[in-house]
Amino acid sequence: MNDVFKDWEARVAALWRQVDAITPEQLVAQADALAAERPVDDPVALFERACARDTAGLEAEAEPLYRAALASERLDPYRQARASIQLGSTLRLLGQLEESESLVSAQLQRYEDAAYGNALYDETRATLALTYLVQGRAVEAACLALTTLAPHLSRYNRSVAGNAAEILKSTALESSWS
């Protein structure tokens, strides 16, 4: 990573640190100004522009930017996971539930490759649970959320995970995540 990009990333990070102190319009304008310093097809700049719009409540404007960043196939795994999660959430908010589920499920499949790592794995599962909930699949959403939470509990880890799996099984639901 060169010094120019490191400096740019530091300025992007500084923008996000002040997000609560500026208006959504200022956030978008400042993100766009920073992105303009990068090549027009730079996936990280596209991603940051999408994030700013998403944060500003401009999901319809964020969607094509997330798509372009992901389509480049040049995001590092962490940003790729973030972009998938955030686009999945954006699609859910836009009512595109099947595509949200498909995108987030595809992200979960990436974690099966040990070389990919597991950054944001639980966050990906939480996003899928939210999509299930909006789809009217409350039992599956709750079971996914509970099995995601179980390893982080101080006690009853196996019981919570086991009960969630049993509930899912008893309702004869199939899941892509279990």
Return the CATH number at 89.
1.25.40.10
Point out the least confidently predicted range of 11-20, 72-81, 129-138, 165-174: 165-174
**Whole-number pLDDT of residue 174:** 64
Q: For residues 157 and 164, what is the distance between their CA atoms, to the nearest angstrom?
A: 11
Give the pLDDT band of residue 172 (cuts 50, 70, 90).
confident
Spatial neighbors of 46 by CB under 8 A, at least 6 apart, are 35, 65, 66, 68, 69, 72
Query: If you average pLDDT over residues 143-165, what whole number do you get?
Result: 96
**Whole-number pLDDT of residue 93:** 97
Domain annotation covers residue 41: yes
**Whole-number pLDDT of residue 176:** 67
> Range of 50's domain?
3-121
Query: If you average pLDDT over residues 145-155, what whole number do you get?
Result: 97
Query: If you average pLDDT over residues 21-29, what whole number do you get?
Result: 98
Domain annotation covers residue 102: yes
**Whole-number pLDDT of residue 171:** 84
3-state secondary structure of 84: helix
Residue type at 13 in one-letter notation: A
Query: If you average pLDDT over residues 88-111, what whole number do you get?
Result: 97
**Whole-number pLDDT of residue 178:** 62
Cβ atoms of residues 89 and 61 within 8 Å? no
Q: How many CB atoms lie within 10 A of CB 88?
A: 26
Q: What is the pTM of this model?
A: 0.92
Domain annotation covers residue 128: no
How many domains would you assign to the chain? 1
Domain annotation covers residue 126: no
> How large a percentage of the chain has pLDDT more than 70?
96
Domain annotation covers residue 157: no
Domain annotation covers residue 158: no
**Whole-number pLDDT of residue 42:** 98
